[in-house]
Amino acid sequence: MLILQILFLLSIGALGSPSFYTINSQAADKYRVDTLPGIDGISNENQPTMYAGQLDISTEDSSKIFFWLFQSRAVKHDKLVIWLNGGPGCSSMDGALMEVGPFRVLPDGQLEYNEGTWLHDADLLFIDQPKGTGLSTTNGTYAADLNQATSDFWNFYSNFVEIFDYYSDKEIYLAGESYAGQYIPYFAHGILENNAHLAKVMEMNYMVNDLKIQPSTNEDIDLKIPEILISNKSVNLQGLLIGNGYIYPDVQALSYIPFALSKGLLNSSDSTQLNTVYKPHLACESVLRKPSNETVFTFSHPICTDEILDQLLNVTRQSSNDSYTCHNMYDYTLQSPYPSCGMEWPFDLPQVTSWLQNDTVLQHLNIESETSWSECDGNVSSSLVNFNTTPSYFFLESLLDKIPIVLFNGGNDIICNHLGVENITDSLKWGNQTGWSSSTKYFSMMLNGENFGQVKSERNLTLMEIYNSSHMVPYDHSYSSRSVLNYLFGNYKNATTGEGNVIQFPNLNSEYSLGKFSTGFLVVICVCLVVSWAVILFSKFTNKSDYLRIDDE
């Protein structure tokens, strides 16, 4: 019986284990989130292990960057997805609480489990950046360009890994949407440049130690760390996912009219309407034809990024009872009050705002008392919008030589529509070729028998259009959005059906259920088998002993 009792206690201990992870608990404990207002309605198995708080950027800058880390209690992941929202200056709590995170906030302040959370497939880290965004703080200064934002991110991540050293060698993926189409390539470029620099340093150290060469005598190796890269650790960056990305603003703006015509938003026979919208369109084309030394706008020109869309929304507005409505720029199938045209969207924003402005919530998230949350910060945006910054588009070529990139788009978005994203890839040079070739592969995306999107892929670059989705794909279809991540992870099968070439994704819920059983239910099964084996052995031993005693007598 003693053996059975020990095994029973071991099984209870295994089921009650809160985490698989080895974390420097002394440093991480202060960031542990044990509970949250409204979480009680979520089952224990769906309540993740959480850490949150604000980390210093550097000793010279008292600003702090807020993070929220989610770890699955069901499956031990060897992958970390870092999620960034855009703006610029908009909080990644949009992603955490309205898109890929494990919770959704209900109107009454209760939390609901998000069945489509990407936490099924990887650990999730949400970051409010640049400084001053969301629950991050600022010392009164703001990032003036994307290079500074990259430096601040790098400082934050270096500090993060010092505390959560479990992730120091794990696979890292950068993901996000909209203006994160600028952040992600910039950050990835910085990470890979730092990795290359460290490789040179390690090579030089090898030469110094084994060949007795003085570093200062080798002019080909610069041992000075680049200005925006200050870490002495490499990052195992494995891929990028950019949703409805704002990557090459001016060129993407030229897709507004073709997209509107393809969706029937513009009347192709209405010359007055077309003349109004084509005027800024043609002016934008003229700007783009100018040599770079003849324009002061290298990132974007207002006539491209502002005027075309403004005119499009204006000429397609509709009157109703002395007021006007317009197409939601983030989902053309929705109508919005004019001139908001989507600025009041997404619809979950009011309850998310109320929840994140709750003092008890902030206390549990380890937030300093003077910090308050708003979705987007105008100071961050106005400081970072620099018309002379190099668009992230120009980093894609070098990035694609090293890591895969998935550009996914909701098919209903106007402002960062799928035509614009495809257009910028047509002129992109990568893999020693410009644009797409005869080797390009085309697939339909299938999940549970439903065709929910299409794929175009070649040479490390993949384009995806997710049907009936907005600017925020996971907000509309969180379950299907997991397929974007699973595609990058290689968790799919190619097949040929009556619909042509398709990519079939597994039943993700069933897969996750198996994952849960593997850490809970399967533990019980194993323990039961061990117990049964012990009982059988014990029984045989007892019976054999009794027989011997009788025989001896």
pLDDT of residue 205: 62
Domain residue limits, the chain: 1-20+520-553, 34-251+354-519, 252-345
pLDDT of residue 199: 82
Q: What is the mean pLDDT of residues 271-293?
A: 90
Q: Which residue has the tokens 């007055």?
A: 272
For 258-318, the DSSP string reads HHHHHTT-S-TT-HHHHHHHHHHHHHHHHHHHS-GGG-S-SS--HIIIIIHHHHHHHHT-E
pLDDT at residue 213 above 90? no
CB atoms within 10 A of CB 112: 14
Tell me the two tokens of residue 115.
Answer: 């069945």
- With beta carbons less than 8 A apart as the criterion, state whether 472 and 412 touch: no
Catalytic residue selected from 413, 469, 470, 481: 413
Of 186, 58, 234, 197, the closest CA to residue 131 belongs to 58
pLDDT of residue 294: 54
Dump pLDDT digits (tens) for 364-382. Answer: 999 987 889 999 999 999 9
pLDDT at residue 130 above 60? yes
Active site residue 262: no
Tell me the two tokens of residue 322.
Answer: 């002395």
SS (H, E, C) 456-472: EEECCEEEEEECCCCCC
Dump pLDDT digits (tens) for 300-309. Answer: 889 999 999 9
Q: Could you tell me which residues come within 8 angstroms of residue 396 by beta carbon, excluding any fewer than 6 positions away?
A: 185, 247, 405, 428, 430, 461
pLDDT at residue 150 above 70? yes
Q: Could you tell me which residues come within 8 angstroms of residue 224 by beta carbon, excluding any fewer than 6 positions away?
A: none
Q: How sure is the predictor about 541, in pLDDT bands with cuts at 50, 70 and 90?
A: very low
pLDDT of residue 163: 94
- DSSP symbol at 376: B
- Superfamily (CATH) of domain 34-251+354-519: Alpha/Beta hydrolase fold, catalytic domain (3.40.50.1820)
- DSSP symbol at 290: S
Tell me: cis bond preceding 291? Omega within 30 of 0 counts: no
Catalytic residue selected from 11, 91, 178, 336: 178
pLDDT of residue 520: 46
pLDDT of residue 514: 35
Helices (H), 34-109: 93-98
Q: Bigger pLDDT: 351 or 216?
A: 351
Q: Bigger pLDDT: 264 or 296?
A: 264
Distances in Å between the alpha carbon of 239 and those of 81, 236, 459? 10, 10, 13
Predicted TM-score (pTM) of the model is 0.86
CB atoms within 10 A of CB 266: 21
What own/partner pairs with CB < 8 Å and gap ≥ 24 does 543-547 have? none
Tell me the two tokens of residue 285.
Answer: 């084309």
Tell me the two tokens of residue 539.
Answer: 């029984």
| Among the ranges given (238-252, 425-439, 466-480, 506-520), the one the predictor scored with the smallest mean pLDDT | 506-520
Q: How sure is the predictor about 75, in pLDDT bands with cuts at 50, 70 and 90?
A: confident
pLDDT at residue 539 above 70? no
Tell me the two tokens of residue 458.
Answer: 């070649």
Of 122, 235, 253, the closest CA to residue 187 belongs to 235
Tell me the two tokens of residue 544.
Answer: 């054999």
Q: How sure is the predictor about 534, in pLDDT bands with cuts at 50, 70 and 90?
A: low
Catalytic residue selected from 189, 281, 364, 471: 471
Q: How far apart are CA 328 and CA 389, in angstroms?
A: 28
pLDDT of residue 508: 61
pLDDT of residue 216: 39
- With beta carbons less than 8 A apart as the criterion, state whether 417 and 257 touch: no
The sign of the dihedral angle between the CA atoms of 481, 485, 487, 488 is positive
Q: How sure is the predictor about 229, in pLDDT bands with cuts at 50, 70 and 90?
A: low
Mean pLDDT of the chain: 85
Active site residue 413: yes
Tell me the two tokens of residue 198.
Answer: 């460290």
pLDDT at residue 178 above 80? yes
Q: How far apart are CA 445 and CA 503, in angstroms?
A: 5
Dump pLDDT digits (tens) for 487-522. Answer: 999 999 988 777 689 999 877 654 443 344 444 444
- With beta carbons less than 8 A apart as the criterion, state whether 75 and 49 touch: no
Dump pLDDT digits (tens) for 307-332. Answer: 999 999 999 998 766 788 999 999 99
pLDDT at residue 292 above 80? no
| Among the ranges given (32-46, 239-253, 506-520), the one the predictor scored with the smallest mean pLDDT | 506-520
pLDDT of residue 27: 87
Ramachandran assignment for 432, one of left (phi > 0), alpha (psi -120 to 50 degrees), beta (any other): left
Dump pLDDT digits (tens) for 76-117. Answer: 899 999 999 999 999 999 999 999 999 999 999 999 999 999
Q: Bigger pLDDT: 532 or 338?
A: 338
What own/partner pairs with CB < 8 Å and gap ≥ 24 does 112-115 have? 112/41, 112/42, 113/42, 113/43, 113/46, 114/478, 115/478, 115/479, 115/509
Q: How far apart are CA 484 and CA 481, in angstroms?
A: 6
What is the rounded end-to-end Cα distance, in angstroms, of the chain? Answer: 28
| Among the ranges given (183-187, 406-410, 443-447), the one the predictor scored with the smallest mean pLDDT | 443-447
| Among the ranges given (7-11, 92-96, 168-172, 400-404), the one the predictor scored with the smallest mean pLDDT | 7-11
Q: Could you tell me which residues come within 8 angstroms of residue 419 by beta carbon, excluding any fewer than 6 positions away?
A: 255, 258, 259, 262
Q: What is the mean pLDDT of residues 282-287?
A: 94
pLDDT of residue 21: 59
pLDDT of residue 523: 47
Name the CA radius of gyration of the chain, rounded.
27
Using a 10 angstrom Cβ sphere, with 0-12 exposed, 13-18 middle and 19 or more buried, the burial of residue 527 is: middle
Q: How far apart are CA 420 and CA 197, in angstroms?
A: 35
